[in-house]
């Protein structure tokens, strides 16, 4: 079967158009994968940072709980026999305030 020169040209143009479309599609897929990888890296960094912050805040909470527990042992306001009085004595209050 003999094909005309015109049919051959159409085949060549169609193949070229298909090749260009395939290249564009592969490039788009690669860009999408690169973008997802960048987003993944960013989220990993944020996650690591947040985990460090959790550790730091947990340590701070433990420390402050210990400070509070130690303070409660010596706090005159907590050991006052007349703790129903709404205005504490100034000398008792002064010993509870930070120096």
Given this model, what pLDDT does residue 78 score?
79
Nearest to 77 by CA among 67, 66, 88: 88
Instruction: List the chain domain ranges.
Output: 1-78
Read off the pLDDT of residues 6-64 as tens digits, 9 standing for 90 and up. Answer: 899 999 999 999 999 999 999 999 999 999 999 999 999 999 999 999 999 999 999 99
């Amino acid at each position: 079967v003999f094909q005309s020169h015109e049919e051959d040209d159409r085949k060549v143009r169609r193949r070229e158009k298909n090749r260009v479309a395939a290249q564009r599609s592969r490039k788009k897929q690669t860009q999408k994968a690169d973008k997802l990888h960048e987003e993944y890296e960013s989220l990993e960094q944020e996650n690591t940072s947040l985990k460090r912050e959790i550790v730091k805040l947990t340590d701070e909470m433990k420390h402050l709980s210990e400070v509070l527990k130690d303070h409660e042992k010596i706090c005159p306001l907590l050991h006052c026999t007349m703790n129903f009085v709404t205005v504490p004595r100034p000398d008792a209050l002064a010993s509870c305030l930070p120096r």
